[in-house]
Every structure is written in C-alpha cells, then in structure tokens.
Amino acid sequence: MKSRRISRTRRRATIFGAATASVIAGVAMLPNWSAGAAVTDDPTVDAKTKATFQRLADAVFTDRTEALVGGGRKDRNKPRTDGFSGDVRLSSGTARSQDAALSKLDRRRGELAKLGEKYSKGSTTVTLGATNVKGRKAKAVVTETTTLTYQKVRGSEPGTTGFQARHELTFTADRRGDWQLTGITPADEDNLAVNQTATPESVPAPTPSAVPSASASTAPSTAPSAAPSASASASASGSVKVSTTTPAAPKAATSFPGPANPKDFTASGLDYKAMADYAKRYWSDYNPAYPNFNGAGAGGDCTNFVSQALKEGGWKHVPGYVYDYTRWFGNAEIQSHSFIGVNEWSWFAQNSKRTTSLANVYQMDVGDVLQVDFDKDGSKDHTMIVTSRSKGVPYLTYHSTNTYSRSVSSIIASYPNASYYAYRT
C-alpha cells in the first residue's frame, strides 16, 4: 500500500498502504480461572504443537478463500477451523471475528458476481516461520500464499490471480496449558489481499513543502549532474529551497463500463509489454537491483515497484535532488522521493507531463497506473500498475501485499468508499 517514510514533513510513501488494519481482530483472551483451580506451569511449544499452529492458520485462511469461491454461507461445508479443539484451537473471540469475516467475504463474492467476476477454484497454503514463546503467550509468523482461478465469464480473463501475505499469530495458553489463537495481525506494512476484510489505515496528509534531510543528496553518479530546476533555488548560504510543485490529480469515477478512451500504444515510444512483464516477473520475487521497502516500519514497496516497471518500459531518469518532485530516479543506492512515494510519484507524473489523468478507472490499459486514497483525507495511500485488460476490465499487479492480476472490480468491491486516481502513461 504505502511507500516508505521519507521525512517528517511527508506521509509515508507507498503503497500495495499503508500501517494497516488487522485481517481478523482477535479478542484478547481474559483468564476466568476459579480460585484454587489448578494451573499448569508455562507450557512449551514443541514441533508437534508448531505443526498444529500451522494447520490451524491454514484452516483460517483456506476458509476465507473458499468464501470467495463457493456458494453462500448456507451452502459452504463446515469451516475447517471447527475441526480444532483441545490442545490448539480458536479462542471464542477469534471464532466470532472469523465468522464475521466469512460473512463479509460471502457478500463480496456476490458483489463481484454482479460485475461479471467469479472464481472457479482457489488454493491456500501456509508456511510457519519463527515462533517465539514468552510465558503463556506464543507469537508465530506465517506466510499465506493464495491462488484464485478466474471463471471464464467474459472469456478472456487472466488464468489466475494470487497474492502472498505474512501474518503474526498470537496464541495464549489457558490454565490447562491448551493454546488458543487469540489474535491475527499483518506482519507486513500493508494489508491489501483480496480475502482480507479490514480497511487499511492511513496517516495524516503531508504538508506540501519539502525540507532536505541530512541524507538527501543528488541523483546517481551514472546520471549527469543537474542544477536545481525551476522548482528549486539556492540561497546565499548554499541551502536549497524547494517550491510546492504538488499539483492535485483529479479523481476517477468507478462506474462500469467506463466511457470509451482507447490507448495508443505506439505514440509514446514506450514498451508497455515490458512494463507488464516486469511486474508479473517480480510481483513476489523482488528484484535485488532495488531496495525492498516492504516490512513493518519500512512504509511499503508499492510505488517503488511501479516505478521499476515504468523504468523497464522506457521511463528515463530525471536526475537532481531526491526531494525535488520534478525529478525521478532510482537504483540500488539512491531513490528520489518521487520514485518511491505515492503522492510524490503523482506530483512528478503531472509535473513532467508523462501521464494524463483518466476520467474512469475502467479506461485504464496495460502500463497505466492506479492510486487509491482509502480514507479520502487527500493523501494517496497505494500505487498499482495495470498488467492486462479483458473486455473493459483492467487487471492490476502490485507490492504490499504482493499481488498479481487482481481486477479493478475486486479492488473497488473491497474498498467502495475510497477515492481513486487513474493515470495514462
């Protein structure tokens, strides 16, 4: 979702946004032990228990995937989580939260069906990472990998869509030493998977001014040096003052179908197929030639990832100062704010005239960019790139949460109250 934080004067950049809300807000389990009741010593977590932790997590997220694929709540098989009791199980609060999430995903499935999108099958696997035990609490990080197969409603949909997401699970031992799953929170910066039900959190809108940080410097040495542009001027002391080159992008409508506005793939000289191929290649296997801003506290990698794809398709570096929104560059050593920041990218895209705004999100085509402001506070939270289009529907690929070929219809169904900004590249 959001991209990395750059300074105290600007919001964290994104994106695949943002700190995010938890997928399932597990309720803290409060002991209700009677006076004099026997309480076991602090339990241990052996290999068998870890394996059960993993199986329970797999059941939680598989149930959510099946809610998007299967029929209504009455038609679905008994949830897999119901099969866990005794040594490892859901707490009562987490069970209620899970049931509410499944009902919400049922409704989302119906909303997508009205837009002509259905899934014929889905698969979810969960791998267990580090598990830390302290007293009667255990925290384990799991990685969920989910794939959904598109049902051929329109006839030319992508074969599948999918994502990877990391979650931190909290297990609490009761007085008998049995473990209950009491909380599930995102382990990554953002929380934008198709089977997640919480609205991502946002941070306050940034001030439009930019102040050089101690680490601010100029563009990579491989690019020619550049004096400050018209948006910057040097004072007698040698410090640089940057003007507020922060144009507001117009919002895009989300009604389907969008008005006709076909893209000319030859006019710009850009290679849009290369952009899409790059995004599909690195959607989960990050390119080591660039830094990775995905992770708690890093701000998110979404805009960094989109900039990489645009660069692969022919966008050229504009060297200069990192905080100058009329400049754009990025490699392993240094990145301009406009390369990795959601709002900063938008400002550069408009300042440079490299993009034009689209009136409707369904007008987007391969290589175009979509940004989202989840809470409508005027500061954008997430950046995605279009990697395919079918019968008037764009399909997006993004980082944070790592996702490929998700339809714009699915994004809108998940976040119907957000503001959307569509850019033709």
Cα–Cα distance measured from residue 353 to residue 202, given in angstroms and rounded to the nearest whole number: 28
Q: Residues of the chain with pLDDT > 70: what percent?
A: 76
Residue 150, pLDDT score = 96
Query: What's the average model confidence in pLDDT over 273-282?
Result: 98
Residue 414, SS3? Answer: helix
Range of weakest confidence among 24-38, 74-88, 134-148, 158-172? 24-38
Query: What's the average model confidence in pLDDT over 265-280?
Result: 97
Residue 74, pLDDT score = 53
Residue 218 pLDDT class (50, 70, 90 cuts): low
Instruction: Specify whether the CB–CB gap between 179 and 412 falls below 8 A.
Output: no
Report which of residues 122 and 76 the model is more confident about. Answer: 122
- Can you give the pTM of this predicted structure? 0.80
Residue 260 pLDDT class (50, 70, 90 cuts): very high
DSSP state of 113: H
Instruction: Specify whether the CB–CB gap between 192 and 20 falls below 8 A.
Output: yes
- In the block, tokens 């119906």 appear at 110
Of these ranges, 2-11, 26-35, 241-250, the one predicted with the greatest mean pLDDT is: 241-250
- In the block, tokens 């899934």 appear at 119
Mean pLDDT taken over the chain:
82
Residue 188, pLDDT score = 77
Using CB atoms within 10 Å of the CB of residue 256, give its burial: 0 to 12 exposed, 13 to 18 middle, 19+ buried: middle
Cα–Cα distance measured from residue 247 to residue 349, given in angstroms and rounded to the nearest whole number: 10
Residue 265, pLDDT score = 97
DSSP 39-74: -PPPP---HHHHHHHHHHHHHHHHHHHHHHHS--TT
Using CB atoms within 10 Å of the CB of residue 304, give its burial: 0 to 12 exposed, 13 to 18 middle, 19+ buried: buried
Cα–Cα distance measured from residue 322 to residue 416, given in angstroms and rounded to the nearest whole number: 34
Structural element, H or E, at residue 89 = strand 88-90
Is residue 226 over pLDDT 70?
no
Residue 110 pLDDT class (50, 70, 90 cuts): very high
Q: What is the 3-state secondary structure (H, E, C) of 168-213?
A: EEEEEECCCCCEEEEEEEECCCCCCCCCCCCCCCCCCCCCCCCCCC
Residue 289, pLDDT score = 96
Instruction: Specify whether the CB–CB gap between 394 and 407 falls below 8 A.
Output: yes
Query: What's the average model confidence in pLDDT over 248-254?
Result: 96
* pLDDT tens digits, one per residue of 388-416: 999 999 999 999 889 999 999 999 999 99
Cα–Cα distance measured from residue 367 to residue 369, given in angstroms and rounded to the nearest whole number: 7
Residue 209 pLDDT class (50, 70, 90 cuts): very low
Cα–Cα distance measured from residue 342 to residue 208, given in angstroms and rounded to the nearest whole number: 13
Is residue 421 over pLDDT 90?
yes
* pLDDT tens digits, one per residue of 287-343: 999 999 886 456 789 999 999 999 999 999 999 999 999 999 999 999 999 999 999
Residue 191, pLDDT score = 72
Residue 41, pLDDT score = 64
Cα–Cα distance measured from residue 90 to residue 340, given in angstroms and rounded to the nearest whole number: 39
Is residue 238 over pLDDT 70?
no
Query: What's the average model confidence in pLDDT over 227-234?
Result: 38
Residue 221, pLDDT score = 42
Is residue 204 over pLDDT 70?
no
Residue 6, SS3? Answer: coil
Residue 244, pLDDT score = 58
Question: Beta strand pairing status for 369-373 and 382-390?
Answer: antiparallel
Range of weakest confidence among 236-250, 253-267, 326-340, 362-376? 236-250
Report which of residues 233 and 144 the model is more confident about. Answer: 144
* pLDDT tens digits, one per residue of 29-79: 334 444 444 455 677 899 999 999 999 999 999 999 999 998 544 555 678
Is residue 224 over pLDDT 50?
no
